[in-house]
Chain A
Amino acid sequence: MRLPIFVSLVYLFLYLPIIVLVIFSFNSGDSYSWSGFTLQWYRELFQTKEIWSALINSLIVGGSAVILSVALSVFMIWGLHQKLTAQKINYLISLFYITMIVPDIVIATSLLVFFYFFHVSFSLATLIVGHTILGLGFAVPIIYSRYKELDKRVVEASLDLGASDLQTFFYVIVPFLYPALLSSALTVFIVSLDDFLISFFCAGASSQTLSLYIFAVIRQGLSPILNALSTLILVGSSLLVFIFTFLKLKSSSRKL
């Protein structure tokens, strides 16, 4: 199967900086010129304590945002589906599309203003709040559109067979939503790790996340430690995506 040249070029373009980044993570100098192969930056990476505490913070925030976003979305959809008609649910759900219309900077600064006004001190918690807002903006549409694909007659069948609303929710609806739950979890996680603006405005001085650390380093100039970090993240996430795809394939074989 031949790839059209156009498509190949686009993919090449998308990967160009990343490839350069990976190559230069092995560069023994710290300039833009190649001066020989080395693993020193990887060694330095593992010795830099700030990176690891930043990473842990990012993981805490990311994990919390994922759990909150997905859980809130799923419960909301379940609650609504019990009580409201499809049309009314549609209206309520559009509340969550606002996140996409608003640029990140506006979300960040409005949260800043909001917390400032209520004298809430900035910390990981305020950051988690902000990231959950971002997360809901992705999780709700993803899960809702999967939910819309559910054949309501399956729910009726479950009730007909004697299951309660709660049982139907856990035994029928949630398994059906499973691929959407996975993909929204992954998306929210990436969005949270990647976020810079909200972290910049809403994190406390003591809660440095990965993005903030990277920002600080970049401001100071060239550092190949970042290259080493990115390469590792790239490898790690490829593995993660492989596992994720494997899980997704397994779950889609259970078709309702």
Chain B
Amino acid sequence: MKNLKEKFFDNIPFFVSVPAILWQVLFLCLPILFIFYMALANGLFAFTFEYFRGILDWVHLRIIVRSLLVAMLNASLCLLIAYPVAYFLALKAKKMKNFLLFLLTLPAWVNFLIQVYSWFFVLERNGIINKILLSTGIISDPLHMINNQFAISLVMFHIYLPFMIVPLYNILEKFDPQLIDASLDLGANRIVTFFRITFPLSLSGVYLGFFLVFVMTFGEVVIPMFLGGNKTLFVGTLISEYFFGARNMHTGAAFTLLSSMFMGATLLLLYILMKNKIKTSLSLKG
């Protein structure tokens, strides 16, 4: 009797840690496997490529490539703009740091849909920007800034910029500023110091931020839906179309699988390229 009781208490940690893992497997891993299965099968063990054949055409590929390009562009732009901001927050801002960090997180509270929606006020024909430009006479016709690629890219940049700033900030915060002193002391100027010391040491944050923004931009649904007019030109919106009303689920699944493969391949390629380039530029062996 005692033995059983002891065994029970001994194994509590196991019982207690399983739910989370079970949950993750059951509600994330399994469903994704389902989708992959649906892309390749027509019933129980009836494997088929018919769904793939249905989507391996230029129309679909064009959508995937466009999404990849937009994701790449957005992630790069975010990186370029976010880095100086994160650098300033982590290493330079002293008194205002906490307040600025707070300001950074505040927009997250405004619902995502509403944030996208509020860009209408800014970009529309009668919106703020056009109003200002027209009234000051800089232009004579209102600019067409909505329902096009420009609006989509701009808003994607706006929404995902904080997602790039935060990981960069986190990694730069841990940076030892004395390393900059040491580099300057040894004769390097500030630019060389940045490229040889600061940037290489912040790489894990760069990868994380770039990765996050890339993935989220690639699968984005709402922004192209609201601001792109009524066209389905992106991976996210197309997938959503396929599954809406639970029609065409197999084709949708196939398309999802195909897009994911493209996305995965692109990221892997980028990662390998970056790693090699950085290794060679840092190597100081004579």
Contacts and interface: CB of A to CB of B under 8 A. Distances in A.
Contacts of B284: none
Interface string B152-169: 000000100110000000
Interface string A83-122: 1000000001001101111111111011111101100000
Contacts, number: 222
Contact of A114 (B31, B111, B226): B31
Contacts of A129: 27
Nearest to A134: B28
A4 interface: yes
B85 A75 contact: no
A246 to B, nearest CB: 12
Given A105-B219, A106-B32, A130 B27 contact: yes
A16 interface: yes
A134 to B, nearest CB: 10
Interface of chain A, main secondary structure: helix
A251 interface: no
Given A4-B88, A79-B17, A112-B246, A106 B260 contact: yes
B148 interface: no
A103 B36 CA distance: 15
A245 B215 CA distance: 30
A247 interface: no
Nearest to A245: B102
| 7 shortest interchain CB distances as A-B pairs | A103-B219, A79-B17, A237-B109, A110-B31, A76-B20, A114-B31, A72-B20
29 contacts: A1-B95, A3-B96, A10-B161, A17-B115, A21-B114, A21-B121, A32-B126, A32-B127, A75-B17, A76-B18, A78-B13, A79-B13, A98-B28, A98-B29, A100-B212, A101-B215, A103-B216, A104-B221, A105-B236, A106-B239, A107-B31, A113-B253, A165-B13, A194-B112, A196-B112, A197-B222, A210-B111, A230-B118, A245-B102
Interface of B: 12-21, 23-25, 27-32, 34-35, 38, 81, 84-85, 88, 93-96, 98, 100, 102-115, 117-122, 124, 126-128, 131, 158, 161-162, 211-212, 215-216, 218-222, 226, 236, 239-240, 243, 246, 249, 252-253, 256, 260, 263
Given A103-B216, A114-B34, A214-B111, 14 more contacts: A1-B96, A10-B81, A15-B107, A20-B121, A20-B122, A76-B18, A79-B16, A95-B24, A100-B211, A106-B260, A109-B240, A113-B31, A196-B112, A238-B109
